[in-house]
Amino acid sequence: MKRKKRESKKERRSLQNRIRWVAGLVVFCLIAVVVRAWFVQVVRHDYYLARQQRQRRANVLMTCERGKILAADGGQLAITVKGKALFAEPRKIDDGKRLAKILAPILGQKVATLEHRLSGKRGFVWLKRSLSQEQIEALKPWCRKEAGLAFSEENRRIYPNRELAGQILGFTNIDCVGQEGLERYYDKYLKGRQIYLEREYDARRQVVDNSEYPELDYYKGKTVYLTIDRHLQAWAETALAEAVIGSRGRSGVALVMNAADGALLAMAQYPRFNPNSKRKNNPALWRNRSVVDLLEPGSTFKVFTLVAALESGVFKIDDRIDCEKGKYRVGRRTIHDTHEHGILRLDEIIKYSSNIGCSKIVERLGAERFYTTLKKFGFGSRCGIDYPNEPSGRLRSWRKWRPVDLCNVAFGQGVSMTSVQLTAAYAALANGGYRVTPHLVSKIVNSAGWTVYEYNRQGLPVRACSREVARQVDAALAKVVEADGTAPRARIPGFRVAGKTGTAQKFDFKKKSYSHSKYWASFVGYVDPPAGQSRKVVYVMVDEPKKSIYGGMVAAPAFRDINRRLISYLNYVPSSDVAGLDMPLPAGVNSGCDSVAKTAPEKVKAAPANTAADDRPGQLALVVPDFTGQTIREALARIGSYRNHVKISGSGRIIAQKPAPGSQLKPGIDFVFTLSNEI
């Protein structure tokens, strides 16, 4: 019994000892874990944290979206879409030859080329950029990072309007960096910033998106708003194409510029160019000829001779000059006119485009005075358009002019400028004498909607000529489109048109003389808008027309076509001011009553001779017609320029009107029409 008890006590003690040993071992292990944890978490915290971050996190370089280019009407001219590119890691590829055979038909490349790219131990090689959707779908089964073939995301620039304004916009390279045109000029605003995005990966290299995501919009490129209107641009391009093709010309340029501030509403060029497929086009087409190419203006420049004459005070618009019946000798050269003219007034020299008349003006005026006026319009220097590679115009110093050079410059030879520079000079005439800076961008807005740039005229407006001279020149330009002027084809019924033709000989650099077969045919002018709107200068130039060489025949019809659309688009109202040109004169109005005729509505009757208005010399009293029973369309057509003061109520035909029929018509009077469907 005692022995049993002793054995049991011994066993218990042994068990207790074993438990103690195990407990001690567990405690030791726990202490070891705690010590190790303390060592890892506290002592070498930074080292292990960095190692963890290296393994789990990676920084990916990302180029943010390039900014949009929008037209004045809000249309998208250049946008960026996400695309995909295919790259390979040749050192990871086992069978490059087999892969090359599979990829070649999908990518449209030669097997040998792909084999060469996929061979070797290189770490990275591009196989194809800008993949199409079909190519992406076809390549998906083969693309695995582990297999050494994968997609990379990239931005792709798209020009949705294709050829429209192609030369203005220019294009970017495959990495979305501006190369030509506005894409290049405004690249610093348009380009998206490159940022590093931190990504967290798991053991299988899957992305675990726990990292903070930056606000990518902040890094996007800015939106550039153009002054170009898509519709006007399209019409200008269509009219220009018709003019160039119709005259069998080589190329052409058409511009529409707001005379008030120099904003270009359209800048067309023919042949056109599609920036989406720039490599398929001849690089010569990339050039924006309106801005980059210098040309001799020819007769369109005569206007500035007239301005110089009037500004100097040496001449008055009524002065007459003998145009020598078409032949005039200056030194050893003879200057010719297209038609033989006798004595002409200064405005008639412009109307008939007399070279001899202009030569005689500058001979009397003197080279220095003429040169000073030309410099005031900015000739011989850059106009400052926001477009790359604008050249300075060529205008030699007056001290270097020989007598014959002086005469040449007077009718637009021996002086050169870009189409934009010439149009800007005409804009100065059209706005009353102030110089303008042509520009294509109205504002630039960042992704938060803040305007970071807005076009503003720099400094105080600079006068090129006085308002009075601009008015007299405007009157002279209006005569050019008269039936016996050089451009009756530029006339538009119901609207006052002013402009000037130009037919300039091109210089033949091989023969070192002016060509007798190559010409620039041009027309530049404007249509008078309704009150409150500024004039829009339209310039059309056709290079080397074959059918006819004259600006009045080749360019003037395109000018008219562009303006017809512009008139409709900008809601110009036909005016009876130009009744003498195309509209019937109001009854009872004779040519001696200019001031009244200018504002008289169509077909209104003269008031009885005993009215008070009749007593005033040079005035003609007019009466309000009876509009009852007419449609509003008919009534508005009869009211003419009075239509700014019309109030309409109801619909249908006119049943009542104010003022009453037969009452005296006064400027500024309000018309009130009540319409009804009952009659």
The DSSP bridge pattern shows strands 251-258 and 646-649 to be unpaired
211 vs 451, beta carbon nearer another protein? 211
Shortest Å, Cβ 132 to another protein: 12
| φ and ψ of 501, to 5 deg | -85, 160
Shortest distance in whole angstroms from residue 403 CB to another protein? 49
Distance CA 47, CA 67 (A): 42
Among 643, 650, 655, 656, binds another protein (CB under 8 A): 643
Which CB sits closer to another protein, 156 or 341? 156
- Least distance CB 208 / another protein (angstroms): 4
| SS3 state at 424 | helix
- Residue 317 CB neighbours (<10 A): 17
CA–CA distance, 621 with 625 (Å, rounded to integer) = 13
Q: What does the CA dihedral 12, 17, 22, 26 come to, rounded to 10 degrees? A: 120
User: What whole-number distance in Å separates Cα of residue 640 and Cα of residue 530?
Assistant: 12
- Tell me how far, at minimum, the Cβ of 262 lies from another protein, in Å: 24
- Contacts to another protein from residues 477-496, by CB under 8 A: 493-494
Phi and psi for 509 in degrees, rounded to 5?
Answer: -70, -20
**How buried is residue 584: exposed, middle or buried, by Cβ count under 10 Å (0-12/13-18/19+)?**
exposed
Indicate the helix (H) or strand (E) that contains 58. strand 57-63
Shortest distance, CB of residue 30 to another protein, whole angstroms?
11
Instruction: Choose between 170 and 393: whose C-beta lies nearer to another protein.
Output: 170
Determine the interface stretch with another protein among 295-303, 377-385, 551-559, 635-643 (rule: CB under 8 A).
635-643
Binding residues for another protein restricted to 212-231, rule: CB under 8 A: 213, 230-231
Binding of residue 644 to another protein (CB under 8 A):
yes
Q: How many residues form the binding site for another protein (CB under 8 A)?
A: 42
Q: C-beta of 421: minimal distance to another protein in Å?
A: 28
Give the x-and-dash track for 191-210 against another protein (CB under 8 A): ---------x-x---xxxxx
Note whether 606 binds another protein by CB under 8 A: no
Residues 482 and 497: their CA atoms lie apart, in Å, by 9
Give the Cβ contact number of residue 155 at 10 Å: 18
Q: Which of positions 63-102 make contact with another protein (CB under 8 A)? A: 75-76, 79-82
Of 54 and 82, which CB lies nearer to another protein in the complex structure?
82
Q: Where are the alpha helices (DSSP H) in 221-264?
A: 230-246
Task: Map the footprint of another protein across residues 536-575, applying CB under 8 A.
Answer: 564, 568, 571, 573-574
Cα(367)–Cα(369) distance, rounded to whole angstroms? Answer: 6
- Shortest Cβ distance from residue 646 to another protein (Å)? 5
Question: At a CB cut-off of 8 Å and minimum separation 6, what does 53 contact?
Answer: none
Tokens 């705690």, residue? Answer: 34
Nearest to another protein of 235, 379 (CB atom): 235
**Choice between 210 and 458, CB closer to another protein:** 210
164 binds another protein (CB under 8 A): yes
Q: Phi and psi (nearest 5°) for 305?
A: -65, -40
Residue showing tokens 């007598």: 403
Which residues in 259-318 contact another protein (CB under 8 A)?
Answer: none
The neighbouring-strand residues paired with 549 are none
If the CB atoms of residues 429 and 636 are measured against another protein, the closer one turns out to be: 636
Which of the residues 372 through 431 are near another protein (CB under 8 A)? none
Question: DSSP code of 388?
Answer: T
Residue 140: CB minimum distance to another protein, A: 14
Task: Write the single-letter amino acid at 666.
Answer: K
Q: Is 645 in the site for another protein (CB under 8 A)?
A: yes
What's the gap between Cα 194 and its chain centre?
28
β-partners of residue 82 are 155
> Residue from 104, 646, 655, 656 that binds another protein (CB under 8 A)?
646
The residue count for the chain: 679
Q: Which stretch binds another protein (CB under 8 A): 159-167, 306-314, 389-397, 498-506?
A: 159-167
- The CB-of-358 to another protein minimum distance in angstroms stands at 36
Strands of 207-208's sheet in order across: 57-63, 194-201, 207-208
Element (H, E) at 664: strand 664-665
Q: What is the closest distance, in whole angstroms, from the C-beta atom of residue 400 to another protein in the complex?
A: 48
Task: Give min distance, CB of 170 to another protein, in A.
Answer: 18
Q: What is the largest CA-CA distance in the chain?
A: 163
Q: How far is the CB of 270 from another protein (least distance, A)?
A: 14
| Residue spans of alpha helices (H) in 355-454 | 355-365, 367-376, 403-410, 419-430
Which amino acid is it at 340? E
CB of residue 245 to another protein, shortest distance in Å: 16
Of 68 and 369, which CB lies nearer to another protein in the complex structure? Answer: 68
Q: Give the interface with another protein as residue ranges (CB under 8 A).
A: 75-76, 79-82, 158, 160-162, 164, 200, 202, 206-210, 213, 230-231, 233-235, 238, 493-494, 564, 568, 571, 573-574, 632-633, 636-637, 643-648
